[in-house]
């Protein structure tokens, strides 16, 4: 059985803290305290919090790079909201290209995930993957990935202003649970699974959505656990 990694910073904790903070500000306003604060001026804190979470809970260099990038974008946008600098997303969007370039250089055309799954960097739209770990990143693009391994061990899927389709209908896993961590930022992830698998959604949608559209056979003992965040994006599980 795939064990969950302990994390003291989860997506739900981040969202919960932000909601509590917004509630406190609104409550003080309704009680008559003159608080000149617009909570919508602090939405970039979501990006900062998620970026920090990625950096402190992941150990792969590419994950840390993404966490740092997301945190940096959030800091710049927050400083703009507080009128410390005059900048907006239209001014800093080329940073996305810089990030993609750095990631390609780090990957070197080939990359190995921390799970040990090695594959050639490809831009093909349809790819048959033989490894037992899922490690997919769709950035400003997308692709289709078909898994047929009967001993899957979980993994991670990221879609950043892109999309990907993962077909697991010909695959399987040992034990009762399979954990896949997802991250969708202004992008989409679609996962197709066998009807013999049950789905448990433990992710956190933030201005996005995570949906289970599967039909499960009665008496199913296999459980797919989906974790992660969907920020202005979506994660869909289908048959």
What does 5-71 look like in DSSP terms, one character per residue?
PP-SS-HHHHHHHHHHHHHHHHHHHHTT------GGGGTHHHHHHHHHHHHHH--SHHHHHHHHHHH
Indicate whether 31 and 132 sit together in one domain: no
Same structural domain for residues 36 and 89?
yes
- pLDDT, the chain, mean: 78
Same domain? For 157 and 222 the reply is yes
* Residue 113 maps to a domain: no
In a domain, 129, yes or no: yes
Percent of the chain with pLDDT over 70: 76
Q: Please indicate, yes or no, whether residues 77 and 166 belong to a single structural domain of this protein.
A: no
Distance of CA 160 to the CA centre of its chain: 8
Helix (H) or strand (E) holding 90: helix 89-92
- Which of 44, 77, 108 terminates a domain? The answer is 108
What is the pLDDT averaged over residues 139-146? 85
Confirm whether 114 is domain-assigned: no
Paired tokens of 186 = 């202004």
Residue 197 covered by a domain: yes
The answer to whether 223 and 197 have CB atoms below 8 angstroms apart is yes
The alpha carbon dihedral of 171, 173, 178, 183 has a sign of negative
- The pairing of strands 222-231 and 197-201 is parallel
pLDDT band at 2 (very low <50, low <70, confident <90, very high): very low
Asked if 35 and 59 sit in the same domain, the reply is: yes
Q: Are residues 51 and 148 in the same domain?
A: no
Yes or no: say if 1 and 175 are a contact pair by the CB < 8 Å rule.
yes
Same domain, 100 and 148: no
Answer whether residue 74 shows pLDDT above 50: yes
The DSSP annotation for 181-210 comes to EEEEESSEEEEE--TTEEEEE--EEESSEE
Q: Are residues 95 and 134 in the same domain?
A: no
Give yes or no: residues 96 and 126 share one domain: no
**Contact residues for 37 (Cβ-Cβ < 8 A; gap 6+):** 25
Look at the chain and report how many structural domains it folds into. Answer: 2
Asked whether the predicted pLDDT for residue 92 surpasses 70, the reply is yes
Average pLDDT over residues 10-34: 71
Whether 102 and 76 map to the same domain: the answer is: yes
Of 47, 77, 108, which marks where a domain is finished?
Answer: 108
Asked whether the beta carbons of 215 and 195 are under 8 A apart, the reply is yes
Question: Does some domain include residue 74?
Answer: yes
pLDDT band, very low/low/confident/very high, at 124 (cuts 50, 70, 90): very low
- Quote the domain boundaries for residue 180: 119-239
90 and 136, same structural domain?
A: no
- How large is the average pLDDT for residues 63-73? 81
Is 131 among the domain residues?
A: yes
Last residue of a domain, one of 72, 89, 108: 108
Asked whether the predicted pLDDT for residue 203 surpasses 70, the reply is: yes
Indicate if 104 and 123 belong to the same structural domain: no
Q: Indicate whether 41 belongs to any domain.
A: yes
Radius of gyration of the chain (CA): 19
Distance between CA atoms of residues 187 and 235, nearest Å = 9
**For residue 219, is it within any domain?**
yes
The pLDDT confidence band at residue 4, using thresholds 50, 70 and 90, is very low
């Amino acid at each position: 059985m795939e064990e969950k990694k302990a994390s003291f910073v989860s997506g739900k904790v981040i969202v919960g803290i932000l909601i509590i903070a917004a509630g406190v500000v609104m409550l003080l306003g309704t009680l008559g305290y003159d608080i000149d604060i617009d909570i919508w001026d602090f939405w970039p804190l979501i990006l900062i919090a998620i970026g920090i979470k990625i950096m402190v809970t992941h150990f792969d260099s590419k994950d840390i790079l993404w966490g740092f990038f997301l945190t940096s974008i959030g800091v710049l946008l927050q400083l703009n909201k507080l009128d410390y600098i005059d900048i907006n997303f239209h001014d800093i969007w080329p940073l996305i290209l810089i990030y993609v370039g750095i990631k390609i250089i780090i990957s070197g055309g080939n990359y190995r995930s921390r799970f040990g799954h090695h594959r050639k960097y490809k831009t093909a739209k349809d790819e048959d993957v033989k490894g037992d770990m899922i490690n997919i990143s769709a950035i400003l693009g997308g692709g289709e990935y078909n898994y047929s391994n009967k001993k899957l061990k979980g993994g991670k899927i990221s879609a950043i202003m892109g999309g990907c389709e993962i077909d697991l209908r010909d695959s399987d896993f040992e034990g009762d649970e399979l954990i896949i961590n997802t991250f969708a930022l202004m992008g989409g992830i679609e996962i197709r699974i066998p009807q013999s698998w049950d789905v448990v959604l433990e992710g956190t949608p933030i201005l996005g959505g995570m949906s289970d559209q599967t039909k499960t056979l009665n008496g199913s003992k296999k459980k797919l656990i989906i974790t992660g965040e969907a920020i202005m994006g979506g994660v869909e599980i289908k048959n």
